[in-house]
Amino acid sequence: MDRRALLRLSGAFLPALAMTSRKVPGKPPFRRRRPSDADWPSKAAWKRLNDEIDGNLIAVDFPLEACIRDVDGTGCKNLLANVKNPYYIGDQPGLTETLGWVDAWFTTPSVYGVAAETANHVAAAVNFARENNLRLVVKGGGHSYQGTSNAPDSLLIWTRRMHDVTVHKRFLPQGCEGKIAAQPAVTIGSGAIWMQAYDAVTTKAGAYVQGGGCTTVGVAGLVQSGGFGSFSKHYGTCASGLLEAEVVTADGKIRTANACTNADLFWALKGGGGGTFGVVTQVTLRVRELPEYAGGAIFSVRASSDAAFRRLLRYFAGYYPERLFNGQWGEQVHIGSDNVLGVSMVSLGLSTEEARKVWQPFLGWVGRSRANYTVEPGMILGSMPARHWWDVEWSKEHGRHAFDSDTRPGASENNVWWTGDAGQVAWTIYGFESLWLPGSLLEDNSQERLANALFAGSRHTQVELHFNKGLGGAPREAVELARDTATNPAVLDAFALAIVADGGGGYPGIRGHEPDVETARKSRQRVLRCMNELRALAPIGGSYVSESNFFEKDWQRSYWGSNYARLAAIKKKYDASGLFFVHNGVGSEEWSADGFTQF
């Protein structure tokens, strides 16, 4: 099957989503060019671009084509052997970590890509796209659930090769002399992933930079989405740690953005959404002190009946605000339809003895009701030196089996990812909902309602409470820094981000590996019904842009709340023509769903 047939096949799965029309009467809509158009750039034009970017223009291969052509062939077998490896996916400009979303989108390759190595390469690509009316997409880590880092008939700016990491003992943002004090920081190329940042800052330097929980998430993309990691309950969002960014705007200029220079753009980059205001080429982030210990509390409690499970949830709804609602505890619990409460939390700054003391009353309560509750085998409750949290060599020496590894010949030993993240690699989303839950639900008179809603939701499917993705209970400094970002202010007092999601495998056209559309649609309805039980408690709680429903209603308010009007004005200032388009991004309401037609 040739590329055009493949793209038609993928396009058949894209929904006809209506966008708000702002068409001027009598004026034809503006349309971006496609390869089938007569005014698509000539070979000579593409050659001139290639010369300008030092030969880094590439035709974007699509590895999935091997399986669409011949599912039994050697090429397909090689692909299937590697496609669950996020490092393999990251090395392919034509792939994304999420393969698609049933009834929404499926990953499709750009026509050409600029494998950028410098900001000047990025600027040349931006100018070429603007001057030739091309659809432009940007990909670093490629983790977007919304499909924002891929589009058919587009030009791709691929930043994977821009991955330098430099740690500074004292960093002063440009133009800020005499205004703010120099401080420890780290400058990271936009193609870097968080494992590379953690290796430099924590394993080697013994400090901390707030990044993502998943080791293979792109650094720049996470900053622009707001960004949460395992220890965000203590340090705050990733965006709030931004000190300075280098960014190429729609006019092709390479700009510095910080609190003193292009301050409005700087603010928009702190949570306003990736691929919307420009192409970030590097970020400089605040480096923090690292405590001696980090640890985990990982165990599951199974209830013997629905009634017992209700009591367990009610007890936990009171226990959490009393013992765990602070900057020392993050990550999540799972409330399952099988009446299992799964605890997967992390601690910061607590020794093993101190961490166990926190959980002793809870485990004691469970233990006194052995007829109703069983703590399943495999409990982990303890701490380790925080400096070795991402230290692969130390983990191997101490028998810590937390990582999966890139087994390709010649791969770096640091090419690892958390075993718990494996299900998100090359997955296809069926349904996804997220909702910030306000801290008021933890008050004594609301705990019963919260527990009942969690139980009711779990009758449909599993509910996850991600405590590190809400800043309620965080230190005051973390909350105030996050207040000066574009993220929906609902995050500031939310005790958790509730996530309900489901997905599977598959890609259209691959025989024996196609997504099960009917199963996906039924699952999506369960996800929606589950979240509606919680939404009744927090009807305007808001949603996290990077982990949310593709079909999010009123997404402007949901993602950014009262910040949206300010973001829209900044978008108009730096990108009046809408060169940068992403699904449900600031200003996208002026465009067709595919980003090719402006109304």
Reported as a single tens digit per residue, the pLDDT across 304-347 is 999 999 999 999 999 999 999 999 999 999 999 999 999 999 99
**Is 172 in the same domain as 139?**
no
In a domain, 55, yes or no: yes
Average pLDDT over the chain, rounded to an integer? 95
Q: Is residue 505 part of a domain?
A: no
Between 119-131 and 43-52, two packed helices, what is the crossing angle to 10 degrees? Answer: 160
If DSSP states are collapsed to H, E and C, what string results for 88-103? HHHCCCCCCCEEEECC
Q: Residue 275: give its domain's CATH number.
A: 3.30.465.10
Residues 15, 209: Cα–Cα separation, whole Å: 39
Alpha-carbon dihedral sign for residues 539, 568, 589, 33? negative
Domain boundary among 386, 404, 423: 386
* Other beta carbons less than 10 A from residue 27's beta carbon: 8
pLDDT digits 0-9 by tens, 400-447: 999 999 999 999 999 999 999 999 999 999 999 999 999 999 999 999
pLDDT band at 27 (very low <50, low <70, confident <90, very high): confident
* CA 54 to chain centroid: 31
How many domains are there within the chain? 3
Using alpha carbons, select from 138, 23, 101 the residue that is nearest to residue 592.
23
Domain match, 112 and 37 both: yes
Q: Is residue 59 part of a domain?
A: yes
Q: 3-state class of 221 per DSSP?
A: helix
Q: How far apart are CA 305 and CA 412, in angstroms?
A: 48
**Adjacent-strand bridge partners of 59:** 112
CB 363 within 8 A of CB 357: no
- Residue 312 sits in a domain whose CATH number is 3.30.70.100
Pairs from 35-41 (Cβ < 8 Å, separation ≥ 24) = 35/111, 35/153, 41/128, 41/132, 41/134
How long a stretch of residues is the chain?
599
Q: Same structural domain for residues 301 and 278?
A: no
Q: Is 578 contained in some domain?
A: yes
The yes-or-no verdict on residue 13 having pLDDT over 80 is no
Residue ranges making up the domain that contains 114: 3-161+558-598
Nearest to 147 by CA among 177, 110, 111, 179: 110
Asked if residue 124 and residue 79 are part of one domain, the reply reads yes
* 12 shares a domain with 141: yes
pLDDT digits (tens, 9 = 90+) for 456-481: 999 999 999 999 999 999 999 999 99
As given in the structure block, the two tokens for residue 423 are 């299900």
Task: Based on the fold, state whether residues 66 and 35 are members of the same structural domain.
Answer: yes
Whether 272 and 306 share a structural domain = no
Instruction: Tell me what pLDDT residue 384 has.
Output: 98
Q: What is the CATH number for 92?
A: 3.30.43.10
Secondary structure element (H or E) that encloses residue 285, with its range: strand 279-286
Within-domain flag for 528 = no
Q: Are residues 302 and 341 in the same domain?
A: yes
**Together in a domain, 215 and 278:** yes
Of 330, 365, 386, the residue at which a domain comes to its end is: 386
Find residue 417's DSSP bridge partners. 404
- Angle, nearest 10°, between helix axes 447-458 and 517-535? 170
Asked, for residue 224, whether it belongs to a domain, the answer is yes
* Domain-ending residue, one of 386, 411, 433: 386
Question: Between β-strands 154-158 and 135-139, what pairing exists: parallel, antiparallel or unpaired?
Answer: parallel
Whether the full predicted model's pTM is greater than 0.85, yes or no, is yes
Residues 54-64 pLDDT 10s:
999 999 999 99
Residue 427, strand partner residues: 98
- Whether residue 126 sits in one domain with residue 25: yes
Residues 188, 302 within the same domain: no
Q: Domain for residue 215, yes or no?
A: yes
Q: What is the pLDDT of residue 25?
A: 63
In a domain, 529, yes or no: no
Residues 15 and 109 in one domain: yes
Please list, in sequence order, all residues whose beta carbon lies within 8 angstroms of the beta carbon of residue 11, skipping any fewer than 6 positions away: 108, 152
DSSP three-state, residue 79: helix
| Beta-carbon contacts of residue 4 (< 8 Å; ≥ 6 apart) | none
